[in-house]
Structure 1
Amino acid sequence: MKSHDEATAINIPESNTESKGKGVAAAPTPVVATTSTATKVIQLGKAPGGWKRGIAILDFVVRLLGIAAALTATTVMGTTDETLPFFTQFFQFQASYDDLPAFTFFVVANAVASAYLVLSLPFSIVSIIQPHAVGARLLLLIFDTVMVALTTAGASAAAAIVYLAHKGNASANWIAICQQFNGFCQRISGAVVASFIATVIFMFLVVIASIALRKH
């Protein structure tokens, strides 16, 4: 009897203890797995937003630099005017940007680029607030590409005239006027350089938008 009771006493507690131990061990397992999974989901959700927000902030800063470059090119070229006085006030030579259609187109192109950059700032801010927004980035990418073509055309046309003003062309009977209109040539040369800087900035903006959309 004692041996039977001992065997029964041993079997019953062992089975209860194991079942209880298994029950206690099994209970926290889903909780731990659920907690770790939720943590990973949160981390994965936050990481892309932070990265895209950094790209959007960079885009906003670069646009401010583009405004400065395009506006400088527009202002410098649009205010370029030099007059060479001679013996009398009735006999003078004058050089102005609006004497050449290429310079006029240059001013218009850079003025449009400056206005566009100012108007694009709210869309850039939207990209900072909502890093996952695709519509604003895609719209900016399209218009940035158009501005690359516009500023490149304006700067290239003006650069050709600036080269002729400095070097001249004997075959076409173009004389170099920069020896007489030195201040005029310095200003138009500076305007062209600023416009090419604006063009490079637009190219950089296109690259930024392309990267942001590709990683979406």
Structure 2
Amino acid sequence: MSKGLVLEAGEASKAHAASRGISILDFVFRIVAGASTLGSAIAMGTTNQTLPFFTQFIRFSAQYDDLPTFMFFVVANAIITGYLVLSLTLSIFHIVRSGAKGTRILLTILDTAALGLLTSAASAAAAIVYLAHKGNTSANWFAICQQFDSFCERISGSLIGSFVAIVMFVLLIILSAFAISRRH
């Protein structure tokens, strides 16, 4: 009889350790995603390049705020960064109390909404970055990256950070779903 109790206690201890490990991984993913979105917002928000044209008085300039899509990208990344910083408190709570189910469901819902916002912003910005690199001859839109190379490098790098955060959100949602399903 005592052998059965010892086995049950050992299994419960393993389940608790696994839930705690999932919670710690959740915390790490949130930090990586937050750093990625913060870096993306800063990189895009500080991007500009000016080129002289024939004389020093006439200049061509490219700035992120010339395009509303890039402004949406910066704002969305900043909002997601703020959300991720705030969600770290719940993530820490899950490390301490790995059996909490309601807050994990809430985080999953909020993570899904954040993923939607981030994906829409990154996808819209990616379309503009593609046009900046390749242009569109049918619409007479010329590629500007041959002239504004520094500008294009920064906006492309900014996209990479957002897509890293998107992958982190997908992993967070899968991880949360797995943690919730283990409790049934």
TM class by shorter-chain length?
A: over 0.9
Partner of 2:127: 160
CA contact (8 A) 1:124 1:136 kept: no
> Unpaired segments of 5 or more residues in structure 2?
none
TM-score (norm 1): 0.82
Q: Larger Rg: 1 or 2?
A: 1
Q: Please, which moves more after superposition, 59-68 or 82-91?
A: 82-91
Question: 2:17 is matched with which residue: 16, 31, 50?
Answer: 50
Identity of aligned residues (%): 52
Partner of 1:135: 102
Q: Deviations over 1:67-125 (max 9, x none)?
A: 11111111100000111123444311000001001111111111111111111111000
How many residue pairs were aligned?
183
Structure 2 CA distance, aligned partners of 1:45 and 1:95?
59
Q: Deviations over 1:135-172 (max 9, x none)?
A: 22111101111111111101110011011111111111
TM-score (norm 2): 0.95
Question: 1:121 is matched with which residue: 88, 92, 100?
Answer: 88
Tell me by how many angstroms 1:38 deviates. Answer: 2.8
> Unpaired segments of 5 or more residues in structure 1?
1-32
Query: CA-atom RMSD, angstroms?
Result: 1.2
Task: Write the letter of the residue equivalent to 1:78.
Answer: G
Question: 1:203 is matched with which residue: 161, 166, 170?
Answer: 170
Partner of 1:84: 51
Task: Write the letter of the residue equivalent to 1:102.
Answer: T
Task: Write the letter of the residue equivalent to 2:117.
Answer: L
Provide runs of 4+ in structure 1 moved above 6 Å.
Answer: none
